[in-house]
Amino acid sequence: MTCSSCGKGLCKDCVVQKNEKGYCRQCDVQSQGGLDAVEAIAIIFGSVCLSPVMALVVWLIWRDSKPEKAKQSGYICIGIAVLYIVLIVLYFLFIAAMIGSDPYLYDY
């Protein structure tokens, strides 16, 4: 059997089974860690610039092999989506305030 993450050959004593896949001990330990600073910054800025879909895609990629990182990227996705909703509401409130404050808007 080979490791599903790094491809290293494994014996039946060394293999760690997760979600019907086999991993070496090193890849299993790495999958338990959370996002490091560079990964978190890249996901946050990518999500802000592109959309929360980027964090969702990262979650889909990591959900089986790196569950802790997937969980954290899912939280980032939710946070960025909430940020977008707040900004959209503020934008529409600003537009409504501008329309309501212009006395010459409806003067023909």
Residue 88 has pLDDT above 90, yes or no: yes
State how far the Cα of 58 lies from the Cα of 71, in Å rounded to an integer: 10
List, for residues 12-54, the tens digit of each pLDDT value.
777 777 767 777 777 766 666 567 777 777 777 777 777 777 7
Mean local confidence (pLDDT), 67-93: 86
Task: List the Cα angle 65/42/56 in 5-degree steps.
Answer: 50
Is the pLDDT assigned to residue 84 strictly greater than 80?
yes
**Could you give the 3-state DSSP secondary structure of residue 68?**
helix
Quick check: pTM over 0.95? no
Strands 21-23 and 16-18: antiparallel
Classify each residue of 52-84 as buried b or exposed e, where b means 16 or more C-beta atoms within 10 Å of its C-beta: bebbbbbbeebeebbeebbebbbebbeebbeee
**What is the rounded average pLDDT for all residues in the chain?**
76
pLDDT the model gives residue 87 = 92
How many Cα atoms occupy the beta-carbon half-sphere of 14 within 13 Å?
Answer: 12
pLDDT at 76 exceeding the cut of 60: yes
- Measured CA to CA, the distance from residue 3 to residue 5 in angstroms comes to 5
Per-residue pLDDT reduced to its tens digit, 60-75: 887 777 777 778 888 8
Is residue 108 predicted with pLDDT exceeding 60?
no
- Across 74-87, average pLDDT: 86
